Amino acid sequence: MKLQTLLFELSRSDALGNVADAAELAAGVLAESVPVERGTGLTRWGVLKGESDYTVLIDAHIDQVGMVVTAVDDEGFLTVAGVGGLDLRALPARPVTVHGKQKLPAVFCSTPPHLSGEEKEYGNIADIKLDTGLGAGAKEIVSPGDMVTFTAEPAVLAGGRVTGRSFDDRAGVACVLELARRLKMAGTLPVTVCFLLSDGEELGLRGVRPAAYTLAPQEAVAIDVTFGDGPGIAPEESGRLGKGPMIGFSPSLDHALSKKLTATAEQNHIPYQIEVMGNTTGTNADQLGVTRGGVKTATISIPLRNMHTEAEVVDMVDLEHTCDLLEAYILAGGGLHA
């Protein structure tokens, strides 16, 4: 399956709370390369045995940001709470899907400027009601605790770029699945590789730690997205789309692994960028590094615009180069001799 096709299929599916469509889709693709096991929540993983028991864990989180219903009033309007970080400015008039007894389309309400008198600002998501159109009948389908996800079809933009929802971190998931396919076809590997699709990253990096505790790798690479360049975003705080994945350097990461990744990219003529973080990384690497007795950890991040919206943008060449870098890194033994 082409990488873009895989990304689009993952984008169209949801993985949030008890909604497991994307997790099951990803697990089905991963199962074409390795046997798949289930962890807690939506977490799935598979292991490809190598010549050495030295295990490299490659992680991407399968969960996404969204909302959960907290109340349904008598007129069919829903009150929701955010699941993960949401930009409230982007919510009014946006279409969503409510995962009740059946999938139900709904829209966030928006006060017309003619009536508000000025641009309305929201400080609390509970103030932006959802309209189901069902009136009192909504209570027969929707209950507090039901999940709500954005509704948007992925689309191709100019210049090799694509837009869609949940590219954070379905872009990383697509790379993990493609890497599994490539390494399965490569034959005998110098190290053992675990492909982890973890749950709960958007809720405080919750799901990766129990999975890593179970799998007990010697090193881990967290694949996630990072802030892409754009209007109003400082160059030192973002990565340029189309210029390759960003290799992380941070006091909380293993410096030798970061240097091994950059050396691998240079030796294989793979474009890359450097992402320097002064503290922790805000990714699953922060939990991976302190699992059990500690795991040597690195990050590779894909530049992405419009994070945590239904109009996220990535450049497909960055995903391709992420797969190329990881493949070359594993075939060179990962950090076994770093």
Give per-residue pLDDT as tens, 1-52. Answer: 799 999 999 999 999 999 999 999 999 999 999 999 999 999 999 999 999 9
pLDDT at 115 over 60: no
CA distance 285 to 300: 10
* Catalytic residue flag (residue 201): yes
Mean of pLDDT values over 87-102: 89
Phi, psi values for residue 336, rounded to 5°: -55, -40
157: tokens are 């933009």
- How many other CB atoms are there within 10 angstroms of residue 311's CB atom? 15
Give pLDDT, residue 138.
Answer: 86
Give pLDDT, residue 296.
Answer: 96
Q: Return the axis-axis angle of helices 3-12 and 21-30, rounded to nearest 10°.
A: 150
More confident residue, 112 or 6: 6
CA distance 166 to 174: 12
Q: Which of these is catalytic: 24, 140, 178, 201?
A: 201
* CA atoms within a 13 Å half-sphere pointing along the CA-CB vector of 325: 33
CB 224 within 8 A of CB 287: no
Give pLDDT, residue 112.
Answer: 66
Q: 50-59, 94-103, 125-134, 311-320 — which is least confidently predicted?
A: 125-134
Cα 312 from chain centroid (whole Å): 11
Q: Among residues 23, 27, 48, which one has the least CA distance to residue 37?
A: 27
CB 267 within 8 A of CB 296: no
DSSP 113: H
